[in-house]
């Protein structure tokens, strides 16, 4: 019974690796998953949950993703009974190796993202000028992490080193133990700050536990009982070793190409230093009687207005022609705007209809949150 449960878990992880979409590996997983499961998910959401507002896009922590995970669990249970017991050892061995490779790819991806500041971005001006208490916890966490280049590189390097340890069989146990701490911390962050990758981080944690399934008893004997021990694992049959070598090389090689290609093609190895659009930054309205206090230009082509009560209205903008922007709100309503910015005197002129705003650029990069200070002792901090 225990082997069948382990086999079911092993099959689930294989199915999860196949059908859980990782955006950085392309869209093929998403297309395949939607092709196979979209109708089932639609039936369950309509007839069982009676919710016609569910987005069936398999996005992180969405209802569709929870349903997909449940369907994969049911399929795993069925396959575990269909597969003969004599093949359980092969399934467990292959799944354990596949899980280890999957964890390597995930750690490399997010490790590199942290090193080049592609995960925790430098906070945008509209965030920096927002009141602390008005921000959601997930934005607060993300923004705080984005202010420290050192911490981002440090944690990214730790994840990369862990991936290297898992890659080599001699150091795999050590790497997986470190990854347990990494994934447990990530899960705690996602739960504590309500970040929407809770399901994925939980499964990564359980994957690391599963990858150590043959090592828990030896580790207990060594660390708790203080007895000598020898690691005993389930080795794959010689017949399958060439396939495992090919699979490992192909999976890791293709994944590394797809992970590193965006960095190489863009030449962006430190997002903090990447050039922002010409219209980017924070501007203070010079008319003290106006309801609009600040204007922000976001790097992702958003124009944001902050009023006296610190409420924000944002519009996605498209540059139709030099000095002419087309603003669009979330309801699809479009507004034409004329804009002029003189970098010499930091003056911005924004005209929408009969309303004209004159604002002056603020040096948001000099704000305290972005100052790279380091104090070796408390006296030097004063």
pLDDT digits (tens, 9 = 90+) for 140-153: 999 999 999 999 99
pLDDT tens, residue by residue, 241-262: 777 778 788 888 889 999 999 9
Would you say 186 and 203 are in contact if contact means Cβ atoms under 8 Å apart?
no
CA atoms within 13 A of residue 252's CA, in its CB half-sphere: 19
Burial of 25 per CB tally in 10 Å (0-12, 13-18, 19+): middle
Average pLDDT over residues 221-236: 70
Q: Among 72, 81, 63, which Cα is nearest to 29's?
A: 72
pLDDT over 70 at 167, yes or no: yes
pLDDT tens, residue by residue, 332-342: 999 999 999 99
Residues 113, 39: Cα–Cα separation, whole Å = 35
Res 239: pLDDT? 52
Res 232: pLDDT? 55
Average pLDDT over residues 180-186: 98
Residues 76, 330: Cα–Cα separation, whole Å = 41
* Between residues 243 and 70, the one the model is more confident about: 70
Res 250: pLDDT? 85
Least confident of 55-59, 88-92, 353-357: 55-59
Residues 270, 264: Cα–Cα separation, whole Å = 12
pLDDT over 90 at 382, yes or no: no
Computed over every residue of the chain, the mean pLDDT equals 90
Q: Which residues pair with 356 in a beta bridge?
A: 351
The count of other CB atoms within 10 Å of the CB of residue 155 is: 20
Residues 297, 314: Cα–Cα separation, whole Å = 10
Q: Parallel, antiparallel, or unpaired for β 292-298 and 281-285?
A: antiparallel
The count of other CB atoms within 10 Å of the CB of residue 156 is: 23
Res 52: pLDDT? 65
pLDDT over 90 at 59, yes or no: no
Least confident of 30-34, 159-163, 296-300: 30-34
Residues 75, 12: Cα–Cα separation, whole Å = 8
Res 225: pLDDT? 85
Percent of the chain with pLDDT over 90: 65
161: Cβ contacts below 8 Å, ≥ 6 apart: none
Please provide the size of the chain in residues. Answer: 382
DSSP code string of 48-112: IS--TT---S--TT-HHHHHHHHHHHHHHHHHHHHS-GGGHHHHHHHHHHHHHHHHHHHHHHHHH
pLDDT tens, residue by residue, 258-312: 999 999 998 889 999 998 998 999 999 999 889 999 999 999 999 999 999 999 9
Res 303: pLDDT? 96
Give the global pTM: 0.90
- For the chain, which domains are there? 1-83 (no CATH), 94-274 (no CATH), 281-368 (2.40.128)
């Amino acid at each position: 019974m225990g082997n069948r449960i382990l086999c079911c878990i092993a099959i689930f992880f294989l199915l999860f690796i196949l059908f859980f979409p990782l955006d950085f590996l392309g869209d093929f997983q998403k297309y395949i998953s939607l092709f196979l499961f979209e109708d089932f998910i639609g039936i369950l959401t309509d007839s069982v949950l009676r919710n016609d507002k569910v987005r069936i896009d398999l996005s992180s922590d969405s209802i569709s993703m929870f349903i997909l995970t449940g369907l994969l669990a049911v399929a795993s249970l069925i396959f575990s009974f269909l597969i003969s017991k004599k093949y359980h050892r092969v399934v467990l061995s292959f799944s354990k190796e596949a899980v280890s490779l999957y964890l390597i790819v995930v750690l490399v991806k997010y490790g590199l993202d942290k090193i080049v500041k592609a995960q925790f971005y430098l906070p945008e001006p509209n965030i920096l000028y927002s009141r602390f208490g008005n921000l959601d916890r997930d934005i607060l966490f993300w923004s705080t992490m984005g202010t420290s280049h050192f911490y981002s590189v440090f944690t990214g390097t730790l994840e990369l080193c862990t991936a290297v340890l898992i890659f080599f069989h001699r150091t795999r146990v050590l790497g997986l133990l470190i990854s347990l701490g990494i994934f447990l911390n990530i899960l705690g962050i996602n739960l504590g700050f309500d970040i929407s990758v809770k399901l994925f981080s939980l499964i990564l944690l359980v994957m690391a536990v599963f990858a150590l399934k043959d090592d828990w008893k030896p580790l207990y004997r060594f660390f708790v009982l203080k007895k000598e021990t020898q690691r005993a694992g389930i080795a794959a049959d010689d017949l399958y070793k060439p396939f495992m070598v090919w699979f490992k090389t192909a999976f890791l090689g293709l994944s590394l190409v797809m992970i590193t290609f965006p960095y190489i093609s863009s030449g962006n190895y430190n997002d903090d230093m990447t050039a922002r659009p010409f219209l980017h930054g924070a501007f203070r309205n010079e008319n003290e009687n106006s309801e609009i206090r600040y204007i922000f230009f976001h790097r992702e082509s958003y124009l944001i207005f902050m009023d006296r009560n610190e409420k924000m209205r944002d519009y996605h903008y498209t540059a139709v022609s030099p000095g002419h922007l087309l603003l669009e709100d979330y309801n699809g309503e479009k507004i034409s705007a004329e804009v002029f910015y003189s970098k010499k005197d930091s003056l911005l002129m924004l005209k929408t209809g009969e309303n004209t705003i004159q604002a002056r650029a603020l040096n948001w990069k000099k704000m305290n949150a972005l100052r790279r200070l380091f104090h070796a002792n408390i006296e030097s901090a004063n």
